[in-house]
Chain A
Amino acid sequence: MEIAPWEAFIRSTALHAFVRDHEPWLWPLMQALHYVGASLLIGTVGLFDLRALGLARGIALSAFHRLIPFGIAGYALNLALGIVFFFGHPDQYFYNNAFRLKMSLMAVAGINVALFYASSAFAKAKAVAPGADAPRRVKVIAGISLAMWVAILICGRLITFFRPPFFH
């Protein structure tokens, strides 16, 4: 596989050089932080979804929603780290089916979360009192969210097993 212009550009950046110069300690550190971000996301958004689906009904959904900013922080951390990973080894990610599937699933998760906050689902969710069952629309969105984040984590872990047969 020839190096495409976009990849040549990424390889010319200071960020690419920085990652490659410090790779032995920087790479595992970034991976560990990527798991910290994933844990924040699963622990807040994932548990919110589980509550919406009927687990721990004693918690009002609006009460658990106060933890969501930590999930957003985890997402932001992982987005930043993901960009650095990509700049370090663009070919190993771009020509990788696990990575491509992960990006597609992230798009689905993104549309799903946009639907949640832009539609009436958010107001309905906030009204789910302790002990109450969430409305169907909220449950469907929560189910898609949980399935997507679990699948995204799985695809992320599998990226290394789907690396292309070449190494630029």
Chain B
Amino acid sequence: MDTIFAFIEESALSEWIRGSDSLLAFPTIITLHALGLGFLAGGGTAIDLRLLGFAPAIPLKALARFLPVVWLAFAVNAVSGTLLLIAYPTKAFTNPLFYVKLGLIALALFLVHRIGTILRIGEVEGRPLAGGAKPLAVLSLITWVSLILAGRFLAYTHRWELLGVPAIL
């Protein structure tokens, strides 16, 4: 495994992202990751709040028109996240918290897909929401907050290890 990490770390792309003084390198990539997060977790949260009964006058089918924004943000974060991984592979792959974040991303993908289906089915007057909509929305809200926590602490747990303090996991 170490040789794979070393191979990635010694690539020109990895060295450029990590070492370049240009604002287009690391700063732009991490900024895109933050911007994607805003629309991804934010858009997802707004949809969750509607499913939980806030703003009930928003038609679910119309709300589904925001899903492409959420998926676009997901794509931006998949690309920018991969570039950050290429810049610092060892830092991420040797940190248990990174695998927690990967699991949360998989869960979030599943939830956005399921909740998207519920939105497109829409609401039939007088009938309750499609099965499990509210529990899914609650799980989704918890997932967004957990993803943000995992992402932010990823940058710090590695540093603590460097200081001789064990990582939090």
Contact B50 A67 (CB under 8 A): yes
Q: Does A85 contact B (CB under 8 A)?
A: no
Stretch touching chain B among A3-11, A34-42, A86-94, A114-122:
A34-42
> Is B30 located at the chain interface by the 8 A CB criterion?
yes
Chain A residues near B44 (CB-CB < 8 A):
43
Q: Report whether A70 and B63 are in contact in the complex, using a CB–CB cutoff of 8 Å.
A: no
Determine if B66 and A50 form an interchain contact, defined as CB atoms under 8 angstroms apart: yes
Nearest chain-B residue to A155 (Cβ)? Answer: B31
Counting chain B CB atoms within 10 Å of each CB, the highest count among A28, A29, A150 belongs to A28
How many residue pairs, one in A and one in B, have C-beta atoms under 8 Å apart? 123
Interface presence of A144 (CB below 8 A): no
Contact A28 B148 (CB under 8 A): no
Within the complex, which residue of A130, A154, A158 is in contact with B62, where a contact is CB–CB below 8 Å? A130
Instruction: Find residues 50-75 in chain A having any chain B CB closer than 8 Å to their own CB.
Output: 50, 55-60, 62-67, 70
Do A56 and B66 touch across chains, with their CB atoms under 8 A apart?
yes
Most buried by B among A41, A50, A56: A56
Describe B's contact surface by its main secondary structure: helix
Q: Would A63 and B69 be within 8 Å (CB), given that A38-B38, A39-B41, A42-B42 are in contact?
A: no
What CA separation (Å) do A130 and B156 show in the bound complex?
Answer: 46
Q: How far is the CA of A158 from the CA of B144 in the complex (A)?
A: 23
Interface: A123 (CB within 8 A): no
Contact with A along B43-75 (1 / 0, CB 8 A): 111100110001111110111011001000000
Point out the residue from A24, A38, A46, A158 that lies within 8 Å of B31, measured CB to CB: A158
Which of B37, B49, B69, B160 is within 8 Å of A67, CB to CB? B49
Tell me the bound Cα distance from A43 to B79 in angstroms. Answer: 21
| Interchain CB contact under 8 A, B49 and A58 | no
Contact residue among A28, A57, A58 (Cβ-Cβ distance under 8 Å from B152): A28
A residues in contact with B23, CB < 8 Å: 158, 161
Q: Does B162 contact A (CB under 8 A)?
A: no
A133-162 contact mask (Cβ, 8 Å, vs B): 1 or 0: 000000000000000001001101110010
* Residues of the B chain whose Cβ atoms lie less than 8 Å from the Cβ of A28: 152-153, 155-156
Asked whether any CB of chain A lies closer than 8 Å to the CB of B35, the reply is: yes
Chain B positions near chain A (C-beta within 8 angstroms): 23, 27, 30-31, 34-35, 37-39, 41-46, 49-50, 54-59, 61-63, 65-66, 69, 144-145, 148-149, 151-153, 155-156, 160, 165
New contact pairs (18) apart from A35-B38, A153-B34, A153-B38, CB-CB < 8 Å: A24-B156, A27-B156, A32-B152, A39-B42, A39-B148, A47-B46, A47-B66, A50-B66, A55-B65, A60-B57, A64-B55, A64-B58, A66-B55, A66-B56, A70-B49, A156-B34, A157-B27, A157-B30
Q: List 5 A-B contacts (CB under 8 A).
A: A29-B149, A46-B39, A66-B58, A130-B59, A157-B31
What are the 9 A-B residue pairs with the smallest beta carbon separation, nearest first?
Answer: A43-B42, A58-B62, A63-B57, A66-B55, A56-B65, A42-B42, A42-B38, A39-B42, A32-B152
